Amino acid sequence: MTIHIGAKPGEIAETVLMPGDPYRAKWAAETFLENAQLVNEVRGMLGFTGTWKGHRVTIQGSGMGMPSLSIYANELIRDYDAKTLIRIGSCGGMQPSVGIRDVILAMTASTLSTPSRGIFKELNFAPCADWSLLRAAVAAAEMKGTKTHVGGIYSSDVFYDERPDLNEQMTRHGILGVEMEAAELYNLAARHSVRALAVLTVSDHLLTGEALPAEDRERSFGDMVEIALTAAFT
């Protein structure tokens, strides 16, 4: 048990999927895992452990933003010995070629600032995904026939962004989408020598203003979860 995770020793699997929304964690656990058991509900940040095709998996909510994810990822790695952490979440598309419902596999994650900034100081560290997970996720997406993009994303530290000039530069430099957590996850994975990947569903688009209808979200997010699970155990 830690300050933020109430699970007992042995209740967290080595493979952890991390959606931001705790209720998305609940939905994913009920939809994809067998014998899913609630192992954390501290501060309402739900976590479940069960099995997928015989493999133990934990699905633990991370909250919104890098500071919140940093708390849960640190405790999962240091106190529960998690070895593979995969963020599953939504993002905003930033390229004309990226469509609503597409999946983005984040090879790198650019950012203005993360909780790790104090460690790196003047260094602009370039956090990236684990290659074995990325390669397996690409193969899983191809098998499913899911339209997928692989490349850089932007992890923003604000949701209500008022920097159109920065968004323009992100688009100009090929950034596929924007979200709020992956860069810090990749930093922590590098620091603690564990595997990490962000598998993201495009739920809205910064260029077109399109947004995924609420009734379509579960089906589209399901592809993302299946890709993440397949990649974790390939």
Provide the pLDDT for residue 93. Answer: 98
Contact 126, 108 (CB under 8 A): yes
> Domain extents for the chain?
15-232
Which CATH number among 3.40.190.80, 3.50.50.60, 3.40.50.300, 3.40.50.1580 corresponds to the domain 15-232?
3.40.50.1580
**Annotated catalytic residue: which of 157, 161, 204, 223?**
204
> 157-179 pLDDT, tens per residue?
999 988 899 999 999 999 999 99
* 70 annotated binding-site participant: no
Model pTM score? 0.96
pLDDT of 14 > 90? The answer is yes
> Annotated catalytic, 79?
no
* 87 annotated binding-site participant: yes
Q: Which two tokens stand for residue 154?
A: 């932007």
- State mean pLDDT over 133-148: 97
* 220 annotated binding-site participant: no
pLDDT of 214 > 80? The answer is no
Alpha helices by DSSP H, 63-214:
66-80, 117-120, 131-144, 164-172, 182-192
pLDDT band at residue 212 using 50, 70 and 90 as cut-offs? confident
* 179 annotated binding-site participant: yes
> 16-60 pLDDT, tens per residue?
999 999 999 999 999 999 999 999 999 999 999 999 999 999 999
Q: d(Cα 108, Cα 117) in Å, to the nearest integer?
A: 17
Average pLDDT of the chain is 95
